[in-house]
């Protein structure tokens, strides 16, 4: 089936997201976020997220079907995020997808959230990207992946050893009193500051680190350095702190990603995940990849954060590749490893 019609359901965190694709064409991308309900807590509260998903999922499916101008009976398959993520939130999505697929009598694919983030790139062009290096950066994950086949062959080259990049953004934004979520807030504030004003540390970039863990990330030391700087410098310029912190994160992410491209001989880089919407990361990545002769692909900002389109895209690719659907009842896996693309 060259252009399967697939509905994707994403409920791994605080967005109830439904996407519908036909092959590589996006027909609908409906997102109901509960971020405002979490903002006063400074982070996502799992119980609040789960309840918000329960309230939003059916209306979101109905709106997506209407936007796509299709009927549920037209669907060829359903894909749903099976993990990783918040287990209660995931269960809302998997239960809804299972019931809908059984009711319609169509295949169901329980897919990996991280692989789905990379898959959304396939909605933006018609060219093949396998193999590619993928830099996945979000609130919960910072990973470097070697993708030989997005539907079944992904190798994790490295990952965060502590805070993920997005998590570091949230924590520094809280210290700077910029609000939640931290990524967009830091990005906005940094535009008024200098990225070279403060020389913050670049984690895991010493010679010994390149020899022993070249593709791993660590942002906890950077976070501590920023916090200490703010404590010890009462007259600090908040915009300079935001810009210099952001520059340190961007620098490390791209140093590692381009090193992975060079060592593997792969001249394609996909950057995905919520942090991929960061304007400075996109700007510097464009400059460095052009200089290194690397083909860079970054989804539009709207497709970087969690969305149903990415899940539907991976489901469509699974159907087209002839991958087997998920059989029978299955549990959500909050710690599903990226090497396992589907259940």
Question: What's the confidence (pLDDT) of residue 1?
Answer: 65
Is residue 149 a part of any domain in this protein? yes
Is residue 338 a part of any domain in this protein? no
Residue-wise pLDDT for 20-72, tens only, equals 999 999 999 999 988 778 777 777 888 899 999 999 999 999 999 999 999 99
> Does 218 lie in the same domain as 78?
no
> Does 274 lie in the same domain as 151?
yes
> Does 220 lie in the same domain as 235?
yes
> Does 224 lie in the same domain as 84?
no
> Does 153 lie in the same domain as 51?
no
> Does 288 lie in the same domain as 163?
yes
> Does 285 lie in the same domain as 214?
yes
d(CA 221, CA 13) in angstroms, rounded, equals 26
Is residue 26 a part of any domain in this protein? yes
Is residue 171 a part of any domain in this protein? yes
Sequence-distant (≥ 6) Cβ neighbours of residue 73 within 8 angstroms: 104
Is residue 326 a part of any domain in this protein? no
The backbone torsions φ and ψ at residue 212, rounded to the nearest 5 degrees and listed phi first, read -105, -30
Specify which residues 5 forms β-bridges with: 22
> At 61, which CATH number?
3.30.420.40
> Does 282 lie in the same domain as 311?
no
Specify which residues 19 forms β-bridges with: 8, 29
> Does 134 lie in the same domain as 112?
no
Is residue 340 a part of any domain in this protein? no
> Does 75 lie in the same domain as 200?
no
Residue-wise pLDDT for 102-149, tens only, equals 999 999 999 999 999 999 999 987 777 789 999 999 888 899 999 999
Is residue 216 a part of any domain in this protein? yes
Flag residues of the chain having pLDDT under 70: 1
- As for how many domains the chain has, the answer is 2
Question: What's the confidence (pLDDT) of residue 244?
Answer: 98
> Does 259 lie in the same domain as 151?
yes
Instruction: Report the predicted TM-score, pTM, of the whole model to 2 decimal places.
Output: 0.94
Per the CB < 8 A criterion, the answer to whether 64 and 18 are in contact is yes
Task: Show the domain range for 101.
Answer: 5-121+304-320
Question: What's the confidence (pLDDT) of residue 141?
Answer: 85
> Does 314 lie in the same domain as 262?
no
**Diameter of the chain measured on Cα atoms:** 64
Three-class HEC string of the chain: CCCCEEEEEECCCCEEEEEEEECCEEEEEEEEECHHHHHCCCCCCHHHHHHHHHHHHHHHHHHHHHHHCCCHHHCCEEEEEEECCCHHHHHHHHHHHHHHHHHHCCCEEEEEHHHHHHHHHHHCCCCCCCCEEEEEECCCCEEEEEEEECCCEEEEEEEECCCCHHHHHHHHHHHCCCCCCHHHHHHHHHCCCCCCCCCCCCCCCCHHHHHHCCCCECCHHHHHHHHHHHHHCCCCCHHHHHHHHHHHHHHHHHHHHHHHHHHHCCCEEEEECHHHHCHHHHHHHHHHHHHHCCEEECCCHHHCCCCHHHHHHHHHHHHHCCCCCCCCCCCCCCCCCCCCCEC
Structure tokens at 55: 């309230």
Is residue 343 a part of any domain in this protein? no
Strands 295-297 and 268-272, sheet pairing? parallel
């Amino acid at each position: 089936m060259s252009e399967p019609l697939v509905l994707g359901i994403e409920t791994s965190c605080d967005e109830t997201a439904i996407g519908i694709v036909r092959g590589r064409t996006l027909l609908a991308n409906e997102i109901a976020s509960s971020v405002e309900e979490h903002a006063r807590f400074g982070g996502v509260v799992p119980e609040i997220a789960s309840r918000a998903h329960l309230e939003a999922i059916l209306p979101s499916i109905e709106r997506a079907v209407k936007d796509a101008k299709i009927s549920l009976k037209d669907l060829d398959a359903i894909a749903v995020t099976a993990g990783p993520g918040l287990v209660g939130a995931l269960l809302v999505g998997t239960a809804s997808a299972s019931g809908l697929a059984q009711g319609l009598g169509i295949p169901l694919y329980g897919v990996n959230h991280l692989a789905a983030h990379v898959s959304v790139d396939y909605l933006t062009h018609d060219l093949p990207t396998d193999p590619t290096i993928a830099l996945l950066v979000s609130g919960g994950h910072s990973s470097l992946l070697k993708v030989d086949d997005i539907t079944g062959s992904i190798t994790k080259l490295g990952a965060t050893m502590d805070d993920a990049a997005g998590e570091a953004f949230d924590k520094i934004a809280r210290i700077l009193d910029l609000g939640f979520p931290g990524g967009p807030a830091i990005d906005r504030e940094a535009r008024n500051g200098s990225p070279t004003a403060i020389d913050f540390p670049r984690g895991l970039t010493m010679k010994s680190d390149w020899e022993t863990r070249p593709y791993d990330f660590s942002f906890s030391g950077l976070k501590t350095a920023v916090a200490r700087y703010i404590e010890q410098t009462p007259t600090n310029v908040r915009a300079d702190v935001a810009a210099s912190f952001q520059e340190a994160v961007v620098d490390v992410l791209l140093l590692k990603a381009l090193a992975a491209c060079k060592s593997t001989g792969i001249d394609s880089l996909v950057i995905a995940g919520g942090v991929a919407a960061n304007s400075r990361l996109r700007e510097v990545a464009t400059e460095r990849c052009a200089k290194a002769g690397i083909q860079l692909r970054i989804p539009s900002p709207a497709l970087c954060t969690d969305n149903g389109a990415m899940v539907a895209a991976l489901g469509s690719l699974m159907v087209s590749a002839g991958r087997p659907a998920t059989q029978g009842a299955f549990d959500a896996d909050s710690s599903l490893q990226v090497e396992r693309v589907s259940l």
